[in-house]
Structures are given as C-alpha cells and as structure tokens.
Amino acid sequence: MSGAVGQLFTGQWFTVVAALALVLALLWLVARLARRGGLAAQGPRRMRVVEAMAVDARRRAVILRVDGREALVLTGGGQDLFIGWL
C-alpha cells in the first residue's frame, strides 16, 4: 500500500498490537496480585501422583496419594478405571 492508506493501515495494526499487549499485561498483573493476596488456591495439596508406569503403548498404571491413602488407577485406552485402594 502506498501513501496515506498504507500509513493508516500500519497505524491500525500498531494500535491493535498495543491494545493486545496492554490487555495481556493487565491479566498477568491481576493474576499475580490474586496469588499474592491469597485469592488463588493455596495450601497443601490433597492429591499427588506417587508413581506412573506404562502398561502398553496406550495405557498407564498410576498410583495416586489422596488424603494419606494410595489408589491405583488405570488410564488411557477407551476409558479410565479405578482399580482400588492400596
């Protein structure tokens, strides 16, 4: 594009990029303040992965610790399956 039309088009793109950068910066700032102010989820985790092992190409056996108890879960394939408490 040439002349005034090209400058107008470039100016619009600059405005769009600057507005997007401003919105992303504000989202980042709000998230950071929420974590610091205690609004985000904190505290001890109730569930964590203890161990995971591949059963075959699609499935995995996973041991989860939930509230001090361990559970065996088979994931992948057609559906996930809770095997039981260990």
What averages of pLDDT result for each successive group of 10 residues across the chain (86 residues)? 62 89 96 79 82 94 95 91 93
Q: What is the pLDDT of residue 10?
A: 76
Same domain flag for 34 and 59? no
CA dist 38 to 25, 27, 43, 48, 73, Å?
A: 20, 17, 10, 22, 33
Q: What is the pLDDT of residue 13?
A: 85
Same domain flag for 22 and 58? no
Domain count, the chain: 2
Same domain flag for 34 and 9? yes
Same domain flag for 56 and 72? yes
Same domain flag for 59 and 71? yes
Same domain flag for 10 and 31? yes
Q: What is the pLDDT of residue 74?
A: 95
Q: What is the pLDDT of residue 6?
A: 63
Q: What is the pLDDT of residue 52?
A: 96
* Domain assignment of residue 16, given as a range: 1-43
- Nearest partner of 64 among 75, 50, 52, judged by Cα: 50
